[in-house]
Structure 1
Amino acid sequence: MDIAAIYHSEIFKFVILPALIFMARICDVTLDTLRIIYVSRGMKFTAPIMGFFEVLIWLMAISQIFQNLSNPVCYVAYAGGFAMGNFIGIILEEKMAIGTVIIRIITQKEAVNLIEVLKTNHYGVTHIDAQGVMGPVKIIFTIIKRKDIDRVLKIVRTCNPLAFFTIEDVRSARKGVYPMTVTRSKKHGVSAAK
């Protein structure tokens, strides 16, 4: 069986081609999802490169759709690849944990222990006294890498399980501590924050 015969076979038309379109859409939409996230975070060099490959893959997929307009299986593969590409793109972005966030913690009880534990773990902390609906509160701010969210929230839940917190993306942060880089002095064995 030669390649031309395979290309014109029913198996190619209804199984192989739709599978290729499905995979191409997964790739291009995953890249699109990541590219949009990179654009929103101001990553001006990575986003255009991803956009180039995204559009290149999309052109290959859509050209096959136009060449096979009478094949409804290709339409389903195209739409399914789009949906799956969004899902995979979001999962990948979560796993990569790119960027910086600010965690705002509001606590009604005394927060000295929470603040000290965060500082001990080398997270920069800014805290202020404030007035809430039910009386005085402490507001604690910390800017951290996204990959550290689970670690910081575990500290918050351990030290102050009733604390209210919000997490927001930070487009950019200059200077500051998130978390502080720790080095060990070889001579004295003492850790120092940079």
Structure 2
Amino acid sequence: MWHLDIDIAGALLIFALRLADVALGTIRAVLVMRGIRPMAAAVGFFEILIWVFAISQVMSHLDNLANVVAYAAGYSSGILLGMFMEDRMALGVVVVNIVTPNGEDMARAIRDAGFGATGLTGAGGSSDVDMIRVVSPRRRSRELLALCREQCPGCFATVEDVRCVRGGFSV
């Protein structure tokens, strides 16, 4: 059934092709979710082009266990690579919600850093709190969270993905 004569170059090619197509698939899915349609379609074209070549290599040498293992390993590695790439690309916009007891100082520091900030008053579990909502490019969200920790180490913050932004402070 399984043929153990291993073609290392063929297995590595299959691994690399699968790594690339799955990583592109992850990026495509994120682009679709963010509403970036033309780029999602272009990435999808190359994703499937690579996949067709990869699957043809596996199917024409299905008796070679190394090819099947390389295909599966490329798939799982491609997921990790795609997640890494998507994180580095930091596409899109987020809303950062910050809950803090000193909202005025926090909002001023956020605005001084070039972000727009909307302050709200709320009731926490044990005291009144201020909530600050900031719409930010995702690529700057780490900078914003670091600023919040610097201003108020005990503040509570959440980050939410946003599909569309209209009006307001420019991001």
TM-score normalised to structure 2 length: 0.94
Larger radius of gyration: 1
Among 141, 145, 152, which residue is 1:153 paired with? 145
Contact conserved, 1:101 with 1:168, CA < 8 A, in 2?
A: yes
Q: Unaligned regions of 5+ residues in structure 2, if any?
A: none
Specify the code of the residue in structure 1 equivalent to 2:29.
I
Query: CA RMSD for the aligned pairs?
Result: 1.1
Deviation of the 1:163 alpha carbon: 0.4
| Count of aligned pairs | 167
- Structure 2 counterpart of 1:57, from 47, 50, 55: 50
Query: What is the distance in 2 between the residues matched to 1:147 and 1:178?
Result: 15
Alignment correspondent of 2:128: 136
8 Å CA contact retained: 1:105, 1:165: yes
- The match for 2:90 among 97, 107, 110 is 97
- 1:41-79 per-residue CA deviation (whole Å, 9 max, x = no partner) reads 001100111111111110111111111111000011000
Task: Report the equivalent of 1:81.
Answer: 74
> Partner letter of residue 75 of structure 1?
V
Letter in 1 for 2:74: G
Distance in 1 separating the partners of 2:105 and 2:170? 19
Counterpart pick for 1:26 among 6, 9, 19: 19
Partner of 1:66: 59
Is 2:97 aligned against 1:112?
no
Q: Give the 5 Å matches for 1:175-186.
A: 175-179=167-171
Equivalent-residue separation in structure 2 for 1:102 and 1:85 (angstroms): 29
Rounded to whole Å, the distance in 1 between the matches of 2:170 and 2:109 is 14
**Aligned-partner SS, 2:84:** helix
1:41 and 1:171 in contact (8 A); partners too: yes
Q: Distance in 2 between matches of 1:139 and 1:79?
A: 46
TM-score, normalization by structure 1? 0.83
**1:21-44 residue CA offsets vs partner (Å, 9 max, x unmatched):** 000001100110000000000011
Provide the secondary structure at the position in 2 that maps to 1:166.
Answer: strand
Structure 1: how far apart are the matches of 2:117 and 2:29?
30
